[in-house]
Amino acid sequence: MPDPCTYDHDELARCTEHPDELRARGIPIRCASCSARRDWLVILHRGTVWIRCRCAHQWHEPELTVDEFDELGAGPPDRYWPSFDEAVASMGFDGTLRGTYF
């Protein structure tokens, strides 16, 4: 495992997988690319929350806050990757599993 202490913390992103439906202000989130309604990767980067779908479509979700990210049960980091691309590929959010929702 790479040493997390060597990471540039300005570029560090925290991610948590969310297999269920996700709502922003009570409205279910839906992927604009493939119409998926669940099975998300929720990303926190520089105080901004992003959503990524299995199809690799990713967007900034301004309705989700840092507190809501923490409430999703992200918990303390338990896995590290040297790059964001490696992280999303390892977790199956690089588009390889487009159309496959767990």
Q: What residues line the site for Zn ion (CB under 5 A)?
A: 31, 33-34, 36, 53, 55, 57
- Written as six digits, the tokens of 87 are 């992280």
Cβ 3 to Zn ion shortest distance, Å: 33
Query: Whose Cβ is closer to Zn ion: residue 75's or residue 102's?
Result: 102
Query: Whose Cβ is closer to Zn ion: residue 12's or residue 16's?
Result: 16
Cβ 87 to Zn ion shortest distance, Å: 18
Give the CA-trace dihedral at 14, 17, 21, 22, to 10 degrees: -10
Cβ 88 to Zn ion shortest distance, Å: 13
Query: Whose Cβ is closer to Zn ion: residue 83's or residue 100's?
Result: 100
- Spatial neighbors of 8 by CB under 8 A, at least 6 apart, are none
- Spatial neighbors of 73 by CB under 8 A, at least 6 apart, are 16
